């Protein structure tokens, strides 16, 4: 029987993992047997996870289609409670109808709502997008600002959207994007959000920023989001295909080699 593409990719990616990463994997995997206290956020384990993710998802980028910081801001606002695939279906007509922040600022709200209706919560999203467009036009000369402090002044923009736009468009690493996938995988991999009181996106982001080197913040979020979509899905994660499996001790695992 032919193997699924993801299985072939997963196995090939595991073969490419370097010797130090494999050694770290082995030490973590055998930690219980040697009686040593397992530390899921040890530098060694985090480095091994980062290396495996980078090799499994080389050059991965944001899945939302965009041609400017403003388009990415709009697409990210639309992606709340909606799939990126759905957002990508909606944005071509939207950006054709309203090609600039100025055009969004002057748009008729019912027309804007109609164009984004299928993304859900369309009335709130339309208000946020138009509000954000007005602030961009009136306060920032028509350009999306490049600091977290400023970008958070746009209606409908919270830290997640700020991190997406600053990281993916401007390549400025001020934080880690924490969406539903990053939340779930951070917990499963015991990197963050595992203790009571540490499960909000803000706290998970803060904890991830402490253990992940800043020059990996942008790529790490993209890699984890892709892993969460393709392999470590919410229900029935595909652990048998997972390149991180030897490092994972999640109780959600559907298959284990150790």
Phi, psi of 221 (to 5 degrees): -60, -45
At its nearest, how many Å lie between ligand SF4 and the CB of residue 89?
A: 28
Q: Is 153 helix (H, G, I), strand (E, B) or coil?
A: coil
How many residues form the binding site for ligand SF4 (CB under 6 A)?
A: 14
Residue 231 contacts ligand SF4 per CB under 6 A: yes
Q: Is 50 helix (H, G, I), strand (E, B) or coil?
A: helix
Residue 56 contacts ligand SF4 per CB under 6 A: no
Residues 76-115, mask of contacts with ligand SF4 (x by CB under 6 A): ----------------------------------------
Name which of 24 and 232 has its Cβ closer to ligand SF4.
232
How many alpha carbons lie under 13 Å from residue 68 in its C-beta half-sphere? 12
Q: Which residues of 212-241 are buried (b: 16+ CB within 10 A; e: fewer)?
A: beeebbbbbbbbbbbbbebbbeeeebbbeb
Q: Rounded to a whole number, what is the largest CA-CA distance in the chain?
A: 67
Is 82 annotated as contributing to ligand binding? no
Is 248 annotated as contributing to ligand binding? yes
Residue ranges of the binding site for [4Fe-4S] cluster: 232, 239, 242, 248
Interacting residues with ligand SF4 (CB under 6 A): 188-189, 231-232, 237-239, 242, 244-245, 248, 250, 252-253
């Amino acid at each position: 029987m032919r193997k699924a593409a993801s299985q072939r990719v997963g196995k090939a990616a595991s073969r490419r993992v370097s010797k130090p990463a494999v050694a770290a994997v082995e030490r973590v995997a055998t930690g219980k047997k040697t009686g040593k206290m397992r530390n899921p956020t040890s530098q060694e384990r985090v480095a091994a996870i980062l290396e495996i993710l980078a090799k499994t998802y080389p050059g991965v980028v944001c899945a939302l289609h965009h041609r400017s910081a403003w388009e990415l801001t709009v697409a990210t606002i639309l992606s709340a409670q909606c799939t990126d695939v759905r957002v990508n279906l909606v944005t071509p007509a939207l950006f054709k109808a309203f090609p600039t922040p100025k055009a969004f600022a002057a748009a008729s709200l019912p027309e804007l709502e109609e164009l984004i209706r299928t993304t859900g919560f369309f009335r709130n999203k339309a208000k946020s997008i138009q509000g954000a467009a007005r602030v961009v036009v009136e306060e920032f000369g028509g350009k999306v600002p490049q600091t977290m402090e400023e970008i958070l002044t746009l209606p409908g923009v919270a830290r997640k959207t700020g991190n997406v736009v600053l990281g993916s468009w401007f390549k400025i690493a001020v934080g880690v994007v924490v969406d539903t996938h990053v939340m779930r995988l951070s917990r499963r991999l015991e990197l963050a959000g595992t203790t009571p009181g540490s499960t909000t996106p803000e706290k998970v982001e803060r904890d991830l920023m402490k253990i992940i080197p800043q020059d990996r913040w942008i790529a790490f979020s993209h890699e984890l989001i892709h892993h969460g979509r393709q392999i470590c899905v919410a229900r029935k994660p595909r652990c048998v295909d997972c390149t991180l499996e030897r490092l994972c001790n999640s109780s959600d695992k559907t298959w284990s080699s150790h």
